[in-house]
């Protein structure tokens, strides 16, 4: 499937999707250092700039939109303004991209604090666009990282009404290992008080796109099957004079996603696509 990457950073999460077999059509990132990394890793791919200036009706169509909108106002380490903050408020631009592109999937990542600082708004916006959503807080430690790095991962896809739009789509032919998929529904109240039914998956559920038993905590199966922790980088102050490229690199890592997480979720999306959209186009 084709991917459009939003808030790409240095493409850490995009690496995981590439490992899972996705193909990137374009990227969107404003930071100049990160753009250089993207150009090096994906030569020849279009890298758009400010998301607020992009007309998404004119960009190449993609099956998946993926990216983590800024977390500075949502993270517990930030000012705590929530999703209405200047940086994290760029979620509205992500929602606009979904509305204009109408992808089969949207993969959205942010700080786990989004659960209490804006998740209701995100789910309400997705429901208004005709998308169901599932979410799960998955720490990088689940895949062997030497730190927790807990993040919320939201996967949105068309609800039963929107799914009809794909009844004339091209058949999907993919080969993947089988992964259990199902669904559940919980009504969510948004800030305006109305209620919409959106799909979700609980922390210990085995339904839906996420299968929590494989990624519940740091004691689970590692990505590489070795059961070993990753090797940590040597300590270095982030603002040491004369190491500007090191500072830029650390900033990109700090803002980036762990590719092992996006690989895992990417494989689940592929299987869900094979099951769900194959039925929509009449395949067995």
* d(C-alpha 201, C-alpha 132), whole Å: 11
* d(C-alpha 87, C-alpha 117), whole Å: 13
Looking at residue 146, what is its pLDDT? 77
Looking at residue 125, what is its pLDDT? 97
Per-residue HEC secondary structure of the chain comes to CEEEECCCCCCHHHHHHHHCCCEEEEEECCCHHHHHHHHHHCCCCEEECCHHHCCCCCCCCCCEEEECCCCCCCCCCCCCCHHHCCCHHHHHHHHHHHHHHCCCEEEEEEEHHHHCCCHHHHHHHHHHCCEEEEEEEEEHHHHCCCCCCEEEEEEEEECHHHHHHHCCCCCCCCCCCCCCCCCCEEEEECCCCCEEEEECCCCCCCCCCCCHHHCCCCCCCCCCCCCCCCCCCCCCCCCCCCCHHHHHHHHHHHHCCCHHHHHHHHHHHHHHHHHHHHHHCCCC
Give me the domains of the chain, ranges plus CATH numbers.
2-280 (3.40.50.150)
Catalytic residues: 71
Distance of alpha carbon 58 from the chain centroid: 22
Low-confidence spans in the chain with pLDDT less than 50: 167-207, 211-227, 238, 243, 283-284
Residue-wise pLDDT tens digits, 76-86:
877 778 899 99
Looking at residue 74, what is its pLDDT? 94
Give which of 63, 59, 32 is closest to 46, Cα–Cα.
59
* d(C-alpha 48, C-alpha 101), whole Å: 15
Looking at residue 144, what is its pLDDT? 78
Q: Are 133 and 105 in contact (CB under 8 A)?
A: no
Looking at residue 18, what is its pLDDT? 96
Looking at residue 251, what is its pLDDT? 81
CB atoms within 10 A of CB 149: 18
Sheet order of strands, 64-67 included? 46-48, 23-28, 2-5, 64-67, 105-111, 150-158, 131-139
Residue 169 to residues 1, 2, 3, 277, 281: CA-CA distances in angstroms?
13, 14, 17, 9, 6
């Amino acid at each position: 499937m084709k991917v459009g990457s939003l808030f790409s950073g240095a493409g850490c999460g995009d690496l995981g999707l590439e490992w899972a077999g996705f193909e990137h059509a374009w990227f969107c990132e404003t930071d100049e250092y990160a753009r250089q990394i993207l150009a090096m890793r994906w030569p020849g791919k279009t890298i758009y700039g400010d998301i607020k200036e992009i007309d998404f009706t004119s960009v190449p169509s993609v099956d998946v939109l993926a990216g983590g909108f800024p977390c500075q106002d949502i993270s517990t380490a930030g000012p705590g303004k929530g999703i209405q903050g200047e940086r994290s408020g760029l979620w509205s631009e992500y929602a606009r991209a979904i509305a204009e592109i109408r992808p089969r999937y949207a993969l959205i990542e942010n700080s786990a604090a989004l659960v209490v600082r804006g998740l209701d708004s995100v789910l309400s916006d997705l429901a208004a666009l005709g998308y169901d959503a599932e979410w799960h807080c998955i720490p990088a430690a689940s895949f062997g990282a030497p730190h927790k790095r807990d993040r919320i991962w939201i996967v949105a896809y068309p609800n039963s009404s929107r799914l009809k739009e794909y009844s004339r789509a091209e058949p999907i032919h993919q080969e993947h290992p089988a992964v259990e998929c199902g669904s559940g529904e919980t009504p969510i109240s948004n800030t305006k008080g109305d209620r919409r039914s959106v799909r979700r998956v609980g922390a210990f559920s085995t339904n839906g796109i996420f299968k929590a038993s494989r990624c519940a905590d740091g004691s689970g199966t590692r990505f590489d099957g070795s059961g070993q922790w990753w090797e940590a980088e040597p300590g270095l102050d982030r603002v040491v004079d004369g190491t500007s490229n090191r500072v830029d690199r650390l900033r990109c890592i700090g803002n980036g996603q762990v590719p092992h997480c996006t690989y895992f979720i990417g494989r689940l999306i592929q299987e869900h696509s094979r099951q769900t959209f194959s039925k929509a186009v009449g395949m067995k």
